Amino acid sequence: KKGYGMANLDYDIPITPQTVFRIASVSKQFTTFSVMLLVKEGKIHLDDDIRKYVPEMPDYEKIITIRHLIHHTSGIRDCYELFYLKGYTNFGMDFLTNKIIIDILSQQKVLMFLPGKGCSYTNSGYILLTIIIERVSGKKLRQFTEEFIFKPLGMAHTHFQDDRTIIVKNRATGYSQAFDGTYKINETNFHIVGDGGLFTTIDDFQLWEKNFYYPTVGDRKIFEQMITPGLLNNGNGAQEFGLDSAFGLFIGEYRGLKKISHGGAWVGFRSYMLRFPKYKLSIILFSNLAQLLRTELSRRIADIYLKDEFPKKELETVEKMSKLPTIETDESELQKFVGFYHDEKNGVIIEILIKNHNLHAVINESTYKLKLDAIEKSKFKSLGGDFPAIYEFQPLSDDGFKIVRFLPEPYGKETFNKLEKFEYSNELLKEYIGKYYSDEIDCYYTYQIEDYRLKLSINEKNPISLFLVKNDIFWDGYHMITFKRDHEKQVTEFIVNMWLAKGVQFTRE
């Protein structure tokens, strides 16, 4: 164990194994472990209807169980994306609590899919689990985990941060790196816990890992269940949805070895936990830089420690290709790749642009640009995200291109088709002008025309330009907006989709 870099740039305080980090979604396993302690005591059951404990939630067609919340199979939309749809665009500064989250979840009239029929990562489920733990135990999650987990294990510098005003000794400050290389403080005003919000140190987390292999808090039966993936209603796992979710943990393989893992990403913090249970090897990485390659670095460490143990001696194709040398490219040749590309299945849009003579990819209009380095004339590698990725520009019959993006297993490949520039007039855009309301998020969207562009204002604030994807479908960088027409072909409503919050309906006033 060792610290690298600075915990605080204002005072040049170095990172050590005693530095306290926010570990974001790596916190989720402590929420499910708390659930399992209550299950062991017979106070709750995994197949209980959640409305038994959270009656504020709507009475849907099919019941949602505690088990559904744990495995991301509830169909409940992600709460943070719902708040983004409400116009909360600065999560670092916006003030949110678990109570505020429950209020918006109780307004959701429909689910994205029937419970147990699909799988979609959702922080909402873990906030609901937190509410259940607190109501059943009579203790706040911070108090419950301190009393029954952290104190017995000697994790003296670990807690759920449910009050942002509390002073935490030796805590790291979160940072993001701008494209020009400068660092900015990136922190949050959240009081939300359960889906994240755990503060801990490498020294403390080492005690938790020891408890996984040699339980003194909990028992082997609990930990065996915690690493058992959930099943869908048809008896299959959720691999087809890109998730093999156990209890706040993901189960999979790396180079032929079983791995247990979970990552965390929130404001200026990145974390990753990677276990190889057969070898009792745990690799824990905590960082206070948003751009850190957490997964890539963790896997490189595994490559060193387990180099003689991997059944698959070759690296996975993507990781192998990401290590290939780059080649020189001519900017004039790169120009043909510039444009917008759309993955309709996942609702993701990539903008390809040239900056400083190199191709860059911008995902869903992020402020962060991923540099693409050429390894062949039409094939590029990116090392700037959570995973290494290969971008291959494949020619189409009409002289255009599509992007096939290759990611490490279990993510596979994604196809992005180029968006053509649609010609549209003010007369066409006038059909969409007006005010629309969603009672699921209690929010107004107003559309108007400005400079020959359709512009959207959320609750009359900060108009943003929309990009026409195809007839009646627009994109604003984060939302995919599909307008609906009645039998007279008049626009009456629209549906807005984000990655983890799909199908939110707005009706024209």
Whole-structure pTM value:
0.90
Q: Match 């050590």 to its residue by tokens.
A: 16
Spatial neighbors of 86 by CB under 8 A, at least 6 apart, are 104, 441, 442, 443, 458, 459
Kindly give the confidence (pLDDT) of every residue in the chain, 509 residues in length, as a single tens digit, with 9 standing for 90 and above: 899 999 999 999 999 999 999 999 999 999 999 999 999 999 999 999 999 999 999 999 999 999 999 999 999 999 999 999 998 877 656 678 888 999 999 999 999 999 999 999 999 999 999 999 999 999 999 999 999 999 999 999 999 999 989 999 999 999 998 878 899 999 998 889 999 999 999 999 999 999 999 999 999 999 999 999 999 999 998 877 777 899 999 999 888 899 999 999 999 999 999 999 999 999 999 999 998 888 889 988 999 999 999 886 666 666 777 778 899 999 999 999 999 898 877 778 898 999 888 999 988 766 567 889 999 999 999 876 667 788 999 998 777 899 999 877 666 788 999 887 666 778 889 999 999 999 999 999 999 998 888 999 998 888 888 888 888 999 887 788 999 999 999 999 999 998 899 999 999 99
Q: Match 């028992």 to its residue by tokens.
A: 219
Helix axis angle, 123-137 to 98-105, nearest 10°? 110
- Cα 372 to Cα 392: distance, rounded to the nearest angstrom: 11
Spatial neighbors of 442 by CB under 8 A, at least 6 apart, are 86, 107
CA-nearest of 249, 262, 240 to 118 is 240
- The pLDDT of residue 368 is 65
- The pLDDT of residue 318 is 66
Structure-token pair, residue 188? 């949050």
- The pLDDT of residue 315 is 62
Strands 159-160, 257-266: pairing kind: unpaired
- The pLDDT of residue 172 is 99
H/E segment holding residue 63:
none
- The pLDDT of residue 153 is 99
CA-nearest of 303, 275, 297, 302 to 285 is 297
Q: Which CATH superfamily, name and number, covers 6-305?
A: DD-peptidase/beta-lactamase superfamily (3.40.710.10)
CA separation, residue 374 to residues 36, 56, 109, 325, 334 (Å): 49, 53, 47, 9, 10
CA-nearest of 149, 199, 156, 150 to 174 is 199
Q: Does 426-508 match 6-305 at the fold level? A: no
- Cα 284 to Cα 425: distance, rounded to the nearest angstrom: 55
- Cα 290 to Cα 313: distance, rounded to the nearest angstrom: 31
Domain covering 322-418 assigned CATH 2.40.128 in the classification: yes
Indicate the CATH number of 426-508 among 2.40.128.50, 3.90.1660.10, 1.10.10.10, 2.30.130.10: 2.40.128.50
- The CB density around residue 410, as the number of other CB atoms within 10 Å, is 13
- The pLDDT of residue 241 is 76
Q: Is 124 in a helix, a strand, or coil?
A: helix
Query: Which residue ranges make up each domain of the chain?
Result: 6-305, 322-418, 426-508
- Cα 471 to Cα 456: distance, rounded to the nearest angstrom: 17
